[in-house]
Structures are given as structure tokens and as C-alpha cells.
Amino acid sequence: MDVNQKQTVIALNQLIEVDKDSELACMTGASEVRNAELRDILASTAESCRASVKELQSLVSAMGGEPSDRGSMNGMLFRGWMAFRHMLSPSNDDAVLGMCEHEEEAARREYQSVMMKSLPPEANAALQRQYGTLMLHHDRLHAMRGMQIH
């Protein structure tokens, strides 16, 4: 594996971690919210993140790298904070939504950073498509915030 491939594998593994963080946050959020529409959006977002993780893992494996299979330490800590906050205020869908938005925002920033790098065409195409889906989910979550659900 040459230097460019190693750098691409590292970058894709970073995206796997943030996608995994988003997936886990949205799955947790979907199990905690009372609003059915928000629950469906969070479950759909989690499924989309799961699909992105699988695709990225396939790309890393095809390049001869070892794909990551877990989220980041920051994501784990954030989910712990999310669980604690939910214990303090279990009926607050807005708080859960805000925390899921936070994870989606972190993923958005990481995708933007990685897409600025020189990547193989197949990785670039996958990231462009995944980023578009990420933005659709992010916009849906943000729109729910504007509905002032409780």
C-alpha cells in the first residue's frame, strides 16, 4: 500500500468512526423520544449511517486496509452524556434531537474535511453521495427542531 492509499484509509476510517457515532446516537435517540415522526427520522438516519459505514468499510478493505468497526472516543463520551442528560429529563425530545444534531454536525464537518483531500475516484464518488444523504438527514433533523416538538 502506497502513502496515498494509507492516507485515504486513515481518512475513510475517520469517517467510519463519525458515521458510527451518528448511527449510535440516532439509534439511542429513536428509542428515547416520544414523538413518532422524530422516532422515524432518527431510525432512518441511523440506518443510513449504518449503510455508509458498510460502504466505507468495503472501500477500506478493497484498498488493503483494516476498516474501523467502532465509533470514536469522543462519540462514546458524548453518548454517555446524552444518556445522563436523558435520565435527568426523560421527556425532553428537544434535548435528544439537539444531541443527535450535534453528532450529525460533527459528521458533516469530517466529511467536508476528508472530501478536500485527493481521493481515488471511487472513494470520492461514494463520499459525495453519502454527504448528500447526510445533509438531507441533517436538514430533516433541523426542521424538526423548528417545529418545537415536546
At 90-135, the pLDDT tens digits run 667 887 888 888 888 889 999 999 999 999 999 999 999 999 999 9
Establish how many alpha carbons lie within 13 A of residue 143's alpha carbon, considering only the half-sphere containing its beta carbon: 10
| Tens digit of each residue's pLDDT (9 = 90 or more) over 19-63 | 999 998 899 889 888 889 999 999 999 999 999 999 999 999 999
Q: Mind listing the domains of the chain with CATH numbers? A: 3-146 (1.20.1260.10)
pTM: 0.84
CA–CA dist 67, 59 (Å, integer):
8
